Amino acid sequence: MREVRIYDTTLRDGTQAEDFSLSLEDKVRIALKLDDMGIHYIEGGWPGSNPRDVGFFDEIRNYDLKNAQITAFGSTHHPNRSPENDPNLQALLQAKTPVVTIFGKTWTVHVRDALLTTLERNLELIANSVKHLRPHVQKLFYDAEHFFDGFQADPSYALATLGKALEGGADCLVLCDTNGGNVPSKVAEIFREVQERFPSAPLGIHAHNDSDLAVANSLTAVEMGAVQVQGTINGVGERCGNANLCSIIANLCLKMDIACLTPEKLRKLRSVSRYVLELANVPPNRYQPFVGRSAFAHKGGVHISAVERNPRTYEHIEPELVGNKRRVLVSDLSGRATIKRKAEDYGLGLRKDDPVAMQVLEELKDLENQGFQFEVAEASFELLINRAMGKTKRYFELVGFRVIDQKQSEEHETVAEATIMVKVGGHMEHTAAIGQGPVNALDNALRKALEKFYPELKSMELADYKVRVLPGTHGTGSRVRVLIESRDAHDHWSTVGVSHDIIEASWQALVDSINYKMYKDEKAARNET
């Protein structure tokens, strides 16, 4: 079986993405996760470019990695310096990593217009840089920047740059589609010509996603014989991103029968995907293949019925292979079989012919007609089933609330204050709180009133809040849908509310969120006993 080695550059190339940044501590945590998953090479950064990357290489040496080798990244030496006096090459060696990757110019346009040197001098830079580094590292990779564009502009020169890297002792030549504009057929054609010129040279691929073909180009390169694939977790990276390693790894292991991760490691793929996004504070793409929340979600009644009989009818792999799971969505397209399946998911016994299933179905269709959406608010739907089955516990009762939004002048921010009165058991609680906006004030007041009775609510926090104006009535009289995502140390859940009044819609979602927190904690306690 062929083996392809995975080279992760999330910590370097990935951080060049807009709105994606990582602290030194974040980078160390992600590196440990990637190592645990079985990634072969982890590019930690460019030590010659910033102190944070220098700090990463110092810190990561304190950890005993089990699978991965840490890689430092840099460029060929400056045209006006020698390798021995070049700060960039010195920083690469000071990083003390077992693997170093350097990139050089391949495209004549870049040599003349970006590097501002001659074509002959650029060949010397490549050869001298690789020769200088070679004795000091276990492995040395050469990234041929803009190789595919450079080859199409001047094939002889592009191949000459690779020849110089090989002469210097590079262990692998990585062909880069840096602008992300090539198509698989062109990648295959150029790979073939490189192999004819250097038949024994190990080749790799580094693709960007500007034409939405980075994964396809990477897999094409593997089919052509590439032994190393570079990319980032979730495809993060500059402009449109890099090749998405989540899709590449899954396809290599499950579709192309090429070993890159063991089945046990592959099952960690989704959790690592989410972990990286969580540390970067970036919302996950629910539609992402293999690891997205919707990758194995079924909504249409015909689809659901078929999947119930045989998952292969609408699933190309078993979701558990990549750490994901099948989800049956509830909507006005659902039938009683869907309601039964969802009840089973929640541990609630419900037959398909149970009258409760029809009651839930009718209520569901009525609510969705009003604008509710339960596909993304499964906590609210689970509470709906519980109410229909008569299993709902009332944790508190609203007596009333009032929200005031006050702005004293143009120069001052608005100040929101919420006053609330609730009844818990036989106790009446009346309190107030301020917040950043009326919804936040209402949330703070409700928690303040309830936490003395339910201290476990202190571990719960609001993770996301979205408002959407629904089609129908125009202007300020429109109905709005509020989606709230909440989380605690063990779980996250979503709830929904709909109303002409944004405060009322938010209240509905807030109440469901708190009720679900109490309900799920009680269910977990029962299961433990």
Answer yes or no: is 387 within a domain.
no
**Residue 50 in domain:** yes
Q: How confident is the model at residue 353 (pLDDT cuts 50, 70, 90)?
A: low
Share above pLDDT 90 across residues of the chain, in percent, rounded to a whole number: 67
pLDDT in tens, 160-196: 999 999 999 999 999 999 999 999 999 999 999 999 9
Give yes or no: residues 168 and 312 share one domain.
no
On whether residue 206 sits in a domain, the answer given is yes
Residue 245 has what pLDDT? 98
Mean per-residue pLDDT, 262-273: 95
Q: How much is the pLDDT for 61?
A: 95
Rounded Cα gap, residues 491 and 488, in angstroms: 6
Domain presence at residue 131: yes
Dihedral of the alpha carbons of 261, 262, 266, 272, in degrees to the nearest 10: -60
| pLDDT, position 167 | 96
Q: Please tell me the pTM assigned to this model.
A: 0.71
Residues 320 and 264 in one domain: no
* 358 within domain boundaries: yes
Q: What is the pLDDT of residue 234?
A: 98
Answer yes or no: is pLDDT of 14 > 90. yes
Residues 529 and 519: their CA atoms lie apart, in Å, by: 16
Contacts of 447 (CB under 8 A, 6+ apart): 457, 514
Judgement on whether residues 57 and 195 belong to the same structural domain of the protein: yes
Q: Do 423 and 274 share a structural domain?
A: no
DSSP 457: G
Tally of structural domains, the chain: 3
> What are the beta bridge partners of residue 398?
422
Structure tokens at 479: 């109905």
Same domain, yes or no: 32 and 175: yes
In the predicted model, is pLDDT for residue 333 greater than 50?
Answer: no
pLDDT tens digit sequence for 203-226 = 999 999 999 999 999 999 999 999
Distances from the Cα of 389 to the Cα of 93, 260, 362, 375, 497, angstroms: 67, 48, 14, 20, 21
Same domain? For 264 and 306 the reply is no
Is 389 within a domain?
A: no
Whether residue 146 is found in the same domain as residue 273: yes
pLDDT of residue 352: 56
Phi/psi of residue 143, nearest 5 degrees: -90, 115
Same domain, 140 and 209: yes
In terms of residue numbers, what domain contains 304? 297-375
What is the chain's mean pLDDT, rounded?
89
Residue 332 has pLDDT above 50, yes or no: no
Same domain, 402 and 330: no
Last residue of a domain, one of 254, 280, 306: 280
Confidence of residue 339 (pLDDT cuts 50, 70, 90): low
* 274 lies in the same domain as 305: no
Give the chain's count of helices (H) and strands (E).
Answer: 18, 16
pLDDT exceeds cutoff 70 at 67: yes
pLDDT at 504 over 90: yes
Q: Is residue 91 domain-shared with residue 127, that is, in the same domain?
A: yes
Of 469, 476, 513, the C-alpha closest to 491 is 513
Co-location of 437 and 368 in the same domain: no
The answer as to whether 352 is a domain residue is yes
Higher pLDDT, 318 or 286: 318
The predicted structure's pLDDT at residue 325: 86
CATH number at residue 524: 3.30.160.270
Q: How far is CA 290 from the centre of its chain?
A: 11
Instruction: Tell which residue, 464, 425, 424, 426, has the closest CA to residue 443.
Output: 464
CATH number of the domain encompassing residue 97? 3.20.20.70
Q: Is residue 254 a part of any domain in this protein?
A: yes
The encoded tokens of residue 280 equal: 């970067």
Residues whose CB falls within 8 Å of the CB of residue 175, separated by 6 or more in sequence, listed in order: 144, 147, 148, 190, 191, 194, 203, 204, 205, 206, 221
Local confidence band at 259 (pLDDT 50, 70, 90 cut-offs): confident
pLDDT, greater one: 292 or 492? 292
Q: Within its chain, how far is the Cα of 96 from the centroid?
A: 30
